[in-house]
Chain A
Amino acid sequence: QKEVEQNSGPLSVPEGAIASLNCTYSDRGSQSFFWYRQYSGKSPELIMSIYSNGDKEDGRFTAQLNKASQYVSLLIRDSQPSDSATYLCAVPGTYGSSNTGKLIFGQGTTLQVKP
Chain B
Amino acid sequence: EAGVAQSPRYKIIEKRQSVAFWCNPISGHATLYWYQQILGQGPKLLIQFQNNGVVDDSQLPKDRFSAERLKGVDSTLKIQPAKLEDSAVYLCASSFIRESTFGSGTRLTVV
Q: Is the CB of B45 within 8 A of A93?
A: yes
Task: List the count of A-B residue pairs having beta carbons below 8 Å apart.
Answer: 56
Partner of A105, one of B44, B98, B101: B44
A106 to chain B, nearest CB (A): 5
Q: Which of B7-57 contact A (CB under 8 A)?
A: 31, 33, 40-45, 48, 55-56
Whether A17 is near chain B, meaning CB under 8 Å from some CB there, is: no
A43 to chain B, nearest CB (A): 4
Q: Is the CB of A34 within 8 A of B91?
A: no
Partner of A106, one of B33, B42, B102: B42
CA distance A59 to B31 in the complex (A): 30
Q: Is the CB of A107 within 8 A of B42?
A: yes
Known: A101-B48, A102-B48, A107-B41. A34 touches B55 (CB 8 A): no
Known: A42-B104, A43-B102, A44-B102. A101 touches B42 (CB 8 A): no
Which residues on B sit within 8 Å (CB–CB) of A108? 41-42
User: Which range holds the interface residue count of chain B?
Assistant: 20 to 34
Which residues on B sit within 8 Å (CB–CB) of A103? 33, 43, 45, 100
Which residue of the partner chain B has the closest CB to A42?
A: B104
1/0 contact trace for B74-105 toward A, CB 8 Å? 00000000000000000100010011111111
User: Which range holds the interface residue count of chain A?
Assistant: 20 to 34
Q: Which of A59-115 contact B (CB under 8 A)?
A: 88, 90, 92-93, 95, 100-108
Q: Is the CB of B40 within 8 A of A49?
A: no
Partner of A100, one of B40, B55, B101: B55
Known: A8-B40, A100-B55, A107-B42. A44 touches B99 (CB 8 A): no
Q: Is the CB of A100 within 8 A of B56?
A: yes
Q: Is the CB of A46 within 8 A of B104?
A: no
Which residue of the partner chain B has the closest CB to A89?
A: B42
Chain A contacts to B: CB under 8 angstroms: 4, 8, 32, 34, 36, 42-46, 49, 88, 90, 92-93, 95, 100-108
- Of the A-B pairs whose beta carbons lie under 8 Å apart in the complex, a sample of 20, sorted by A's number, is A32-B98, A42-B104, A43-B91, A43-B102, A44-B43, A49-B98, A49-B99, A88-B43, A93-B45, A95-B56, A101-B33, A101-B95, A102-B48, A102-B56, A103-B33, A105-B43, A105-B44, A106-B42, A108-B41, A108-B42
